[in-house]
Chains A and B, each alone.
Chain A
Amino acid sequence: MKKSLNLPSTLRVFFGVAQLLLLVTGMFWCVLLLASLAPRTGPIMTFPFTDVSLEIPANLITVKSPTSIAEDIRVTRLSTVLTLNLNSTDHELAAAIRWTLLPRTIFNLVFYILLLGLLRNLCARAAQGEIFSEANFRSIRNLGLMLMSWSLAGGALQLWSYHRLGGYLAEYGTVTGINATLSAEAGPIIKLPYDNLITGLLVLLLAEAFRQGLALKKENDLTV
């Protein structure tokens, strides 16, 4: 007889392995960043930094369609990716990179390990046939709260990055080869990861459904 795949058990193993891999790689990155805090020269170690834009004059690049005029579509800002060297000999740049990366790495590491742990526990309980229970309700509620707080804290970390690295770029960075200025500042509205906020709210709604399901189960358990 063909053995059917037990999805919760499989996912539990998957989340466990992912948690372990994340822990190892995350710790490796943290140690690497902490070790490179002392100014030194080392091999070129690059990483891409996004959320950077180039402010360009309105007439530098034109976009036209067959029936539009030049003023209809204007390019005033180019989004770009900066590739930065963590072991730069410019101590101020190196420090700005590290102090931008380190909080993000630690925060994401802690968040994902907790998230995967919660998912793993949920799968373990589901594999044992335990669906509507107090523990599952708490796990799902915590999952929702975590996603929402991750979204808000992610916005704060983004603001910190703009301040730390963006501050350096605004002060020292000049663009050559194109008539443009670097901009890595937060706009009037901080770009929050809204999708996580919405997902968190949906998960909280699911937790409420679980709470009501649990109440129904409790009532039904002692009905003969």
Chain B
Amino acid sequence: MPIRLNLDQVMADRGISLTDLAARVDITLANLSILKTNKAKAVRFSTLEALCRELKCQPGDLLEFTKQK
């Protein structure tokens, strides 16, 4: 997919663990892992909002568009 989620990078910058973030944004560890490993096909606005709120960032910090060759 040309859209990537830089969740692992942002989490490392903020020094927050997967378990901690899952508890704060109120989604399961399994679903957060799907996001982190870029296996997700779609992200709900509500999930993105919760991630941005807890990681104190903008959607653009999390999402990245890369051209496919």
**Which residues of chain A have a CB within 8 Å of any CB of chain B?**
219, 222-224
Inter-chain CA distance A223–B31, complex, in Å, is 9
- A selection of 22 A-B contacts at a CB cut-off of 8 Å is A219-B41, A219-B42, A222-B34, A222-B39, A222-B40, A222-B41, A222-B42, A223-B40, A223-B41, A223-B42, A223-B43, A223-B44, A224-B27, A224-B31, A224-B32, A224-B34, A224-B35, A224-B40, A224-B42, A224-B43, A224-B44, A224-B47
Inter-chain CA distance A93–B31, complex, in Å, is 72
Chain A residues lying within 8 Å of B43, measured Cβ to Cβ, are: 223-224
Shortest Cβ distance from B35 into A: residue: A224
Shortest Cβ distance from A218 into B: residue: B41
**Per-residue A-contact encoding for B15-58, CB less than 8 Å = 1, 0 else:** 00000000000010001101100011111100100000000000
Q: Other than the known A222-B40, A224-B47, what 19 A-B pairs have Cβ atoms closer than 8 Å? A: A219-B41, A219-B42, A222-B34, A222-B39, A222-B41, A222-B42, A223-B40, A223-B41, A223-B42, A223-B43, A223-B44, A224-B27, A224-B31, A224-B32, A224-B34, A224-B35, A224-B40, A224-B42, A224-B44
How many residue-residue contacts, CB under 8 A, span A and B? 22
Shortest Cβ distance from A223 into B: residue: B42
Chain A residues lying within 8 Å of B39, measured Cβ to Cβ, are: 222
- Tally of contact residues, B, Cβ under 8 A: 12
Inter-chain CA distance A219–B42, complex, in Å, is 8
Inter-chain CA distance A224–B40, complex, in Å, is 7
Chain A residues lying within 8 Å of B44, measured Cβ to Cβ, are: 223-224
CB distance from A213 to the nearest CB of B (A): 17
Shortest Cβ distance from A222 into B: residue: B41
Chain B residues lying within 8 Å of A222, measured Cβ to Cβ, are: 34, 39-42
Chain A residues lying within 8 Å of B42, measured Cβ to Cβ, are: 219, 222-224
Inter-chain CA distance A222–B39, complex, in Å, is 7
Inter-chain CA distance A219–B41, complex, in Å, is 7
Shortest Cβ distance from B51 into A: residue: A224
Shortest Cβ distance from A221 into B: residue: B41
